[in-house]
Amino acid sequence: MTEPSRPRRGATLRDSGARSASGNVAGRSKTLLELARLQALRLKSHRLVPSRPLRDAREAAAFIEARQMVMATAQTSLPSLAEVIAGRSLTGSWMAHPEAGRIYRILRQLIRSGVISVPLVLGKETLIDSSLGPAVERIATDRQRIAKVRMKLTPLAQRLLAAVEARGQVRMDDWGVPTQGARPARRLLERQLLVVGSSFHTESGYHTSLVVPWTTSEISKRFSKAATRLSWAQAVDALILAGVRSAVLAPEREVRRWFVVDATGIDDLLTQEKLRRMADARTVYLTTGRARATIRKPVRGSRSKDHRIP
């Protein structure tokens, strides 16, 4: 009986390599399919595909409660309330959209009813659910963070912050600095969560802002006690996870720039498998392990106890 010949070593290596390459292709295909599923889920969760425009402030408040973190009008990976109201993705300024009047009206109603608005994500107006209030307050009032931020402020921003802290409030049209320099200084302090500014019409009919220290703002008063029960890491984790859950899928480079905190919390959440990293040929994304199950759904017809829509 003739003994079967042994396969040549080179052939064995080629077969092993082919199996490995086949496994890599299968793995990449699976990743791309999962990314496509998450992209579709993102559009559906943001009410864009299929289009489901928000009809009024009550529906908008329920949407914010469910998503926890929503941009007012800015376009990021997070849902934009302006787009959800319009029922479609917006290009250019939302103020040029046919639905601009309705978008503005609903946003005003939300703010007047007590929905929390803070320049949290990329320094842009962000609407958050009250459950995130303590985390924002914990980060805003952290002494080590404030000390580092103060060292990096522009001279004019330092001057404005000193005036606000000394007087308790500063009306920008009375500060004595031209708008061209005063506005960037104010916005920098607001984005660093050092002050809170509110816009209003003056007696002459033009706009100006009243600026107060963060610690005397309504947001700080409302959540200061609850914030003491959070550690720095817990507060950072809460914001990152809420943001990624709301976005469903977001580029990692963008997420690392979202907040005024060090982005190392993302690495810890990846290690703990609370976040998941996925990539296609061009972009590395972050998502949660169970994006579909982690979005809170309010009871139909319910309203948050923290605000009342007229």
- Average pLDDT on 267-273 reads 93
pLDDT digits (tens, 9 = 90+) for 192-208: 999 999 888 777 778 88
Return d(Cα 81, Cα 106) in angstroms, integer: 10
- Average pLDDT on 267-272 reads 93
Return d(Cα 246, Cα 183) in angstroms, integer: 31
Residues in the chain, overall count:
310
pLDDT digits (tens, 9 = 90+) for 68-117: 999 999 999 999 999 999 988 888 788 888 888 999 999 999 988 889 99
Q: Evaluate if residue 306 carries a pLDDT over 70.
A: no
Instruction: Report how many helices (DSSP H) and strands (DSSP E) the chain contains, helices first.
Output: 12, 9
Provide the CB-side half-sphere exposure for 33 (13 A, CA).
6
Architecture of the CATH domain 139-221: Orthogonal Bundle (1.10)
pLDDT band at 309 (very low <50, low <70, confident <90, very high): low
Residue 166 makes CB contacts below 8 A (sequence gap 6+) with: none
Mean pLDDT of the chain: 87
Extents of the domains making up the chain: 139-221
Q: Evaluate if residue 296 carries a pLDDT over 50.
A: no
Question: For residues 102 and 307, which has the higher predicted lDDT (pLDDT)?
Answer: 102
Residue 138: what pLDDT? 98
Residue 141: what pLDDT? 97
Q: What is the percentage of the chain residues whose pLDDT exceeds 70?
A: 84
pLDDT digits (tens, 9 = 90+) for 109-162: 998 888 999 999 999 999 999 999 999 999 999 999 999 999 999 999 999 999
Taking CA 121 as the corner, what is the angle to CA 303 and CA 128, rounded to the nearest 5 degrees? Answer: 10
Neighbours of 269 (CB within 10 A): 19
Residue 103 makes CB contacts below 8 A (sequence gap 6+) with: 73, 81, 82, 85, 86, 94, 97
pTM for the whole thing? 0.84
Residue 204: what pLDDT? 76
Provide the CB-side half-sphere exposure for 184 (13 A, CA).
7
Neighbours of 66 (CB within 10 A): 15
